[in-house]
Chain A
Amino acid sequence: MIEGIGVFDVLVVSTAMFFIGIYGFLVRKNLITILMSIELVLNSVNINFVVFNKYLYPDLLQGYMFALFAIGIAAAEAAVAIAIILNVFRKMKGIDVEHVDTMKY
C-alpha cells in the first residue's frame, strides 16, 4: 500500500495510458510511433497487474510474475517489430503505414 494513493487513482492512469495507446495505434502514420503506442498499451496492462496484486492480493505474487513475463514478451515483440520495420524501410524507402498494403484483395 502506498499512503494517500488508492487503487482507483492508479487505474485511472493505466486506463488513460491504454486508450492513449490505442488512439495512437489507430491514428499515427509512422510505424515507429505505432510501435511506441503498442508499448504504451502493454505497459498500461502491466500497471494494472501490479496494482491489483499490491492492493488487493498483497500476499500473492502471480500479478508481479505476470507483469515480468509481459515485459519480457513486450521486449521480444518490439525487437521483431523493429526488424519488420527495417525490412519495410529497405523495400519501400519510407515507413508510412498507409503504404504497407500489398496484402489486399
Chain B
Amino acid sequence: MQTELFSNTVWILVVLFFAFAIVGLFGNRLKPMLSGAISTVAILFSAVISYTTAYFYFFQDGMINGKYAMLIPFQHEWLKFSDTLVINMGIMIDPISVMMLVVVTTVSAMVHIYSFGYMKGEIGFERYYAFLSLFSFSMLGLVMSTNLFQMYIFWELVGVSSYLLIGFYYKKPSAVNASKKAFIVTRFADLGFLVGILLLSFYTRTFDFTTLLGPDSTAISSMAGLSFMGVSTISWVMILIFMGGAGKSAMFPLHIWLPDAMEGPTPVSALIHAATMVVAGVYLVARLFSIYIGAPEALAVIAFIGAFTSLFAAIIAVTQTDIKRVLAFSTISQIGYMMLALGVSGYGGEEGLGFMASMFHLFTHAMFKALLFLGAGAVIHAVHSNYMTEMGGLRKYLPITHITFLIAALAISGIPPFAGFFSKDEILVAAWANNPLYFWTEWFVAGLTAFYMFRLYFSVFWGENRNYEKKPHEAPVSMLIALVYLGIASAVVGFIPFSQFVTSDGIPFDIHFHWNIALPSIGIALVGIGIAAWMYLKPGNVADKMATSMPGVYKLSLNKFYIDEIYLWITHKIIFKGIAAPIAWFDRHVVDGSMNGIAWVTQQVSGRTKKLQSGQLQQYGYAMVLGAVAFVLLLLYWGAR
C-alpha cells in the first residue's frame, strides 16, 4: 500500500522534466502564457502530490514501529562502477525528504504564479519558465535521492539551473558575471564534496543511503580508528562533504556568490536563493547526520562556521541599501543559524533537538524569506528601483504588500506568534545546551536581524512621502496570491509540532517551552525593532550621524568586509596573471620552443653537412680514397689482432 502510493512521487520528477523539455524546446513557438501555464500546472501537480504524500506519510503510513521509516518506493540501477559501487536513481520518502517536498513545491508553485505578473511582457518569458521547471526538477530530485551520487548529480543540475536563472538577463554584463561567479564558487565547493564522496565510498564500499545511514550503519565502523594528520579520517571526509554544502549554502568564506546572485529576477531570488537551493547544504548535513554524529570534529567545524557566518552576514546587512542585498545577507545569516543548530545537535530524542530545530527553521524560513523577497519584488515592481534610499511611505500605495511584508518581518525577527519565533527559539535552546557562547552570539544576531529587517521595513513603507514620478501601484493579482498564501503560512506554520514529525532518528519526541530562553530572545528582538524605529521612523538623519561616528566599522560593513575584492584580486592577479598566463607563455615559448629548437638544430646540422655534396668530382674522389685507405688499415689492424 505504502509503496504504491508513494511511488506516485516519481511522477513529480517526470512531469517537471517534461515541462522543462517542452517549454525549453518549443517555448518560442508557443504563446508565452501557454508556456507559463505548462510549467505552472506541472508544479501545482507536484505540489498536490507532495501534500498528499506528506499527509499520508506523517499521519498514516509512515510510522513503522514508532519510528518514521525510510521508504524507497522506486529505485533503478543507472551506472555501475563495481559490484558494490553503483549509482542508483531512486526516490526516498523519509521525514526530511517529505518536508522538503512540501517546502520546495510550495515556494516554487508560489513563484510560478507570482511570475505571471512579475515577468509579464518580458523577453524570454518562456525561457524563464523552462528554467524554473528545470530547477524544480533538479531540486526535488536532490531531496528525494536514495544514493549519495544521485544527490551529487542533482546537486550539479541545481547549480546549472541557478547559473541559467541568475544570468537570465544575459545582456547585462553584471548578470553574466554574477552567474559565472555563482557557478564557479559552487563548483569549487563541489570539488570538496566530490573528493569527500570518493573517499567515503572507498571506505564504506557503497553510495546507498539505506546502507550508509541509520544508527547501525557501517559507515562509521568502516573508518573507525583511521586518522590522518591527527584528525580522524571520518571527520576529514565529512568536512570535505560539508565544503560542498558550505558552497551551496553560502557559508563564509564561500558566501560571495549569493549577494551577486541578486542580479537574477526577484522571483528567482525568492525561490532559489532564499528558500530552496541555498538550504541544500543544510539538507546535505541533515541527510548524512547519522554519519556526522561519528565525526564530532566535523560537527564542531560546522557549528563554528554557522555561528560565525550568521554574525558576519548580519553585520553586513545592517548597512546595505539595496533591498535585495539586505535580504541576501539576511538569508546567509539565517542559514548560519540552521548550520549552527545542526552542529550543536546530538542524536536521538532530546539530544537531537538541534537537528529538529534546524529543520524547523528551514521550513519556516523558506516561507517568510520567500515572502520577503516576493514582497520586495512587488515593491521593486512598483517603484522601479532596488534602493531603499529611493523609497518611503509605500504603505499607502501597496497595502497588501505592506501587511504581508510586515508579517514576514515579524516572523524573521522572532516575534510570537509568527513562525520564526518558534523555530529560532528551539535553535537558541539547543545552542545554550551546547555552548553558552554560541547562545549569546545567536542572541545578539537575533537582535541585529530584527534591527536590519525593520530598518528595511520602516525605510520602505514608512518615512517621508516621496514624490514618485509614476504613482506606485499595488501588485497584480497573480503576485498577490503568492504573497497572501505565504503570509498566512508565515503566521501559522510556527504552530506545527515539528518534533512530532521531523527528528534526527525518526522517533518523535516532545519539546518543552523554555521561558528563560524565549523571553530574552523576544526582548532583544523588540530592542532591535525599537532602535530601528527610532532611527528610521522619525525624520532627520539619525542613521547618517551614526554612520559618520563609526566610519571604520561602517565602511567595513558596507563593503562586505572587502571579501569580494580579495577574491577578485586572487583570481585576477594570482590565478589569471600569475599562473594561467605564464603557463600559456611557457607552453608557447619554452615547450613549443624546444620543439622548434629541435627543428632549428636539425636545420643547422643539415646546413653544415650538405656541403659534402659539393658537386666537385675530385672531392668525391678524395672521400673515396680516404675511405678505402681507412678500410684497408682497419682490416690490417684487425687481421693482426
Residues of A within 8 A of B (CB): 22, 25-27, 34, 97-98, 100-105
Within 8 A of A (CB), among B595-626: 610-611, 613-618, 621-622, 625
Q: Is there contact, CB below 8 Å, between A105 and B610?
A: yes
The reply to whether A100 and B614 form a contact with Cβ atoms under 8 Å apart is no
Q: Which residues of A contact B614 (CB under 8 A)?
A: 101, 104-105
> How many angstroms from the CA of A89 to the CA of B614 in the assembled complex?
20
Inside 8 A of B615's CB, which chain A residues have their CB?
100-104
Residues of B within 8 A of A102 (CB): 615
Contact among B610, B613, B622 for A26, CB-based, below 8 A: B622
In the assembled complex, the CB of B628 is this many whole angstroms from the nearest CB of chain A, namely 10
Give Cα A98–Cα B611 distance, bound, in whole angstroms: 15
Nearest chain B CB to A18's CB is how many angstroms away? 11
Shortest Cβ-Cβ A-B pairs, 9 listed: A101-B615, A104-B615, A105-B610, A105-B613, A104-B613, A103-B615, A104-B614, A26-B618, A97-B617
CB distance B618 to A101 under 8 Å?
no
Tally of A-B Cβ pairs under 8 angstroms: 29
Q: Whole-angstrom distance between the alpha carbons of A30 and B437 in the complex? A: 111
Interface size (B, Cβ < 8 Å)? Answer: 11
User: Interface majority SS on B: helix, strand, loop or mixed?
Assistant: helix
Q: A22-B625, A26-B622 are in contact. Are A101 and B616 (CB under 8 A)?
A: yes
User: Which B residues, 417 to 432, have Cβ-Cβ distances below 8 Å to chain A?
Assistant: none
Complex CA distance for A48 and B64, rounded to whole angstroms: 119
Cβ of A47 to closest chain B Cβ, rounded Å: 20
Residue of A nearest to B618 (CB): A26
A27 to B622, CA, bound (A): 10
In the complex, which residues of chain A have a beta carbon less than 8 angstroms from the beta carbon of B613? 104-105
Can you name 12 A-B pairs with beta carbons within 8 Å? A25-B621, A26-B622, A34-B617, A97-B618, A100-B617, A101-B614, A101-B615, A103-B615, A104-B614, A104-B615, A104-B616, A105-B611
- Indicate whether A26 sits within 8 Å of B621 (C-beta atoms), given known contacts A105-B610, A105-B611: yes
A26 touches B625 (CB 8 A): yes
Tell me which of A25, A27, A98 contacts B616 (CB under 8 A).
Answer: A98
Complexed CA–CA distance, A101 and B622 (Å): 16
CB distance from B610 to the nearest CB of A (A): 4
Interfacial chain B residues near A22, Cβ < 8 Å: 625
**Whole-angstrom distance between the alpha carbons of A53 and B617 in the complex?**
34
Least distance between A79 CB and chain B CB atoms (Å): 19
Q: Which residues of A are found within 8 Å of B616, using beta-carbon distances? A: 97-98, 101, 104
Residues in B with CB closer than 8 Å to A27 are 618
Min CB distance, A17 to chain B, in Å?
A: 16
Give the chain A neighbours of B610 by CB distance below 8 A: 105
Closest to B625 in A: A22
Nearest CB to that of A97 among chain B residues? B617
A99 to chain B, nearest CB (A): 10
